[in-house]
Chains A and B, each alone.
Chain A
Amino acid sequence: MNEELMVLEDIRTYFYVSKSLFKTLTVKAVDGVSLKISKGEIVAIVGESGSGKTTLGRTALKLVNPVSGKIIFEGVDITNLTKNLKWFRKKAQMIFQDPFTSLNPYMTVKQIIEEPLVIHGFGEKERKERIIKALKDVRLYPPEEFLPKYPHMLSGGQRQRVGIARSLVLEPSFIVADEPVSMIDASSRAEILFLMRDIQKKYNMGIMYITHDIATAKYFSDNIAIMYAGKIVEYGPSYTILKSPFHPYTVALIEAVPDPDPQNRFRFRKVIPGEPPNPINPPSGCRFHPRCPYSDGKRCVKEEPQLRDFNNRKVACHYAENFLKK
């Protein structure tokens, strides 16, 4: 049994936006999410804009504080810790989406990768060793050539690798990867993802892979959580979920993504109407009910479905049983 690395219990992360002197709106970005990530496991968090996936990642790393719920890392409840977090910042790292802005443009590659080491008090010799090792892990060869370069001298893919190298240099046990390849050319994405997978296996890390691209989740994660309007609507092994999705939203998401098939242009895709909901005022009951083709108009509108075990996965839907007929 792999030990649990990161446990999120009923996390709610809200943002408060003051519209005027008297009115403050609450953006319920993450509204009741529980999740466990073990050592050596990759969990993909898939969702569209407003789903709360990005906020979930930031909450897990305590870059943003939840209003309620627990964050337990390697057995330690860190929810309320604000001061003694340095050890946590050493073991939990983040890989960012935008290779253009996630690197300090005024620093060389060496300085960028060295920063975490300097902050955590590593000696010069060990720093040099770790930097070279990290560059080799991300396959930037020869490492010495890259050290004096500035970010603007590198391509997008190379920059992203530097970002990954930086996250590895402290030898973390847990990484949150926030859309790490969405800004990379499609023909280079698999390269970066496989690289990350190799590194993950080598160091037995737990990864939270946040993405809107459900297709990459299939090849890059062990388990997948589909988020909608701040909640998880389906969770389970990636292969199982994507081969036979149960939640109507998951179904719609998969249906919306085309494979390169020339016949596609002759048929209209089955789409769900409407738009993702406003996190300030999510729909009552099941948040998906306004767009769901299977909404019963009664229970779905009043009662919020709980994430329950069902058919080798967890689903949050009142009528999941109805879809067993597939």
Chain B
Amino acid sequence: MLKLEDVRLFYRTRRGSVRAVDKVSFELERGETLGLVGESGCGKSSTALAIMRILPRNVDVYEGKVLLEGVNLLDLSEDEFRENIRWKRISMVFQGAMNSLNPVLKVGFQVAEPLMVHKKMDKKEAISKVKEMFKLVGLPPDFTERYPHELSGGMKQRAVIAMALIMNPEIIILDEPTSALDVSIQAQIMNLLKKLKKEFNISMIFITHDIALSSDICDKIGVMYAGQIVELGTSEKVLLTPKHPYTQKLIASVPLLRSDKIPDFIPGTPPDLVNPPKGCRFYPRCPYAKKEFEGREPPFVEVEENHFVRCWLYSDEK
């Protein structure tokens, strides 16, 4: 349903061009949840912005294909995109969204706003729709009359999710929706997302730095490193049989509660996106690095059905 082909998004900064998203490709089927997992600075949030076409002023390069049922969203004009796609067919819950609620407006009004603007509903009708949505996300319907500061963190996050769903989009992107929440509240929100997924068959892109959390909801996982997808496959394949050394190490770094394996770590730091290493970007930190891999861009290889890796270890041409 949604297909990204070689999407690139670079930002212009004083130091040079930041290659935030560098040839990212993946597919998302209807009702499927794709996880974009990676650490700080890997480009996962930028990928979401590229899909939503929410670009800052200093965009340097923005190209590739974002195909929504065959139509390349990059070809549409800003007005067309705003009127037809953004929030109507694809919506987003931003990182720290709960903090970007307008403190002087009632929560119900804010969630109703897209309805009033896009569908030209009158306020009364819009608010009643919001009340229905609030029930769905586990908020009491009379909370439409409350102000953001009267809500706890978890409640605000539910309100923001309601806002993203109010227009019944086909795809919803969630950027670290739980990272600012306590772990017990996080579990509640994850249950909510699972319920929404089950009842509405909605497609989701779930962005997180916590690979364990991605297992809680994602059908497919794309692991990102330094602006690229280094591994892409079903959750089973990626989590149980990870192929890319980075994925392996990332999973090994999770301190496990239910087993006694000592957590691992990756020495060093992620590369600077202005000047990433030539060729394989994980090469400097990779435990399996061989001299012959240096400086050469590894191909994106399908190691087994629907499981892709960007790594020299799995390529025949070495």
Give me the interface of A with B, judged by CB distance under 8 Å: 48-49, 155-158, 185-191, 194, 212-216, 218-219, 242, 252-262, 264-265, 268-269, 271-273, 275-276
Contacts and interface: CB of A to CB of B under 8 A. Distances in A.
Interface string B247-258: 001110111111
A194 B213 CA distance: 23
Interface stretch (B7-15, B262-270, B293-301): B262-270
The 4 closest A-B pairs by CB, nearest first: A256-B187, A48-B182, A262-B235, A215-B255
Contact of A265 (B154, B209, B219): B219
B253 A186 contact: yes
B262 to A, nearest CB: 6
A253 to B, nearest CB: 7
A256 B186 contact: yes
Contacts of B263: 189-190, 219
A265 B218 contact: yes
12 contacts: A185-B40, A186-B211, A186-B250, A187-B266, A215-B255, A219-B255, A258-B213, A260-B254, A264-B215, A265-B215, A269-B190, A276-B184
B68 interface: no
B179 to A, nearest CB: 10
A275 B154 contact: yes
B215 A258 contact: yes
Contact of A268 (B191, B251, B264): B191
B257 A276 contact: no
A242 B210 CA distance: 21
B216 A253 contact: no
B239 to A, nearest CB: 5
Main secondary structure of the interface of A (DSSP, over half): helix
A262 B217 contact: no
B182 A190 contact: no
B298 to A, nearest CB: 20
B39 A253 contact: no
Contacts, number: 130
Given A189-B265, A212-B182, A259 B235 contact: no
B270 A185 contact: yes
Contact of B235 (A194, A254, A265, A271): A265
Contacts of B58: none
A190 B264 contact: yes
A271 B266 contact: no
Residue among A158, A185, A272 with the most chain B CB within 10 A? A185
Contact of A253 (B33, B184, B194, B259): B184
A242 B257 contact: yes
A252 B212 CA distance: 17
B211 A256 contact: no
Interface residues of B, number: 52
A269 B187 contact: yes
Given A157-B269, A265-B219, A49 B182 contact: yes
Contact of A262 (B182, B188, B239, B267): B239
A254 B184 CA distance: 9
B152 interface: yes
Contact of B152 (A185, A212, A216, A275): A275
B183 interface: yes
Given A215-B257, A262-B236, A185 B215 contact: no
B240 interface: yes
B39 A187 contact: yes
Nearest to B41: A185
Given A48-B182, A259-B258, A275-B185, A187 B217 contact: no
Interface string B222-261: 0000000000001110011000000001110111111100
A261 B251 CA distance: 10
B60 to A, nearest CB: 24
Nearest to B259: A259
A186 B257 contact: no
Contacts of A158: 269
B187 A265 contact: no
B267 A276 contact: no
Contacts of A262: 215, 234-236, 239-240
Contacts of B249: 187
B215 A271 contact: no
B19 to A, nearest CB: 19
A187 B194 contact: no
Interface in B163-220: 182-188, 190-191, 194-195, 209-219
Given A185-B269, A188-B266, A276-B182, 20 more contacts: A49-B153, A156-B269, A186-B211, A188-B269, A190-B253, A212-B182, A219-B255, A259-B258, A259-B259, A262-B215, A264-B215, A264-B216, A264-B217, A265-B215, A265-B217, A265-B218, A268-B191, A268-B195, A275-B154, A276-B184
A65 B258 CA distance: 39
Nearest to A273: B188
B39 A215 contact: no
B265 A191 contact: yes
Given A186-B250, A261-B239, A262-B236, A271 B257 contact: no
Nearest to B270: A185
Contacts of B269: 155-158, 185, 188
B8 to A, nearest CB: 24
Contacts of A156: 40, 269
Given A186-B39, A271-B187, A257 B257 contact: yes
Contacts of B194: 265, 268
Contacts of A256: 183-184, 186-187
A213 B188 CA distance: 17
A3 B262 CA distance: 29
A250 to B, nearest CB: 11
Contacts of A242: 257
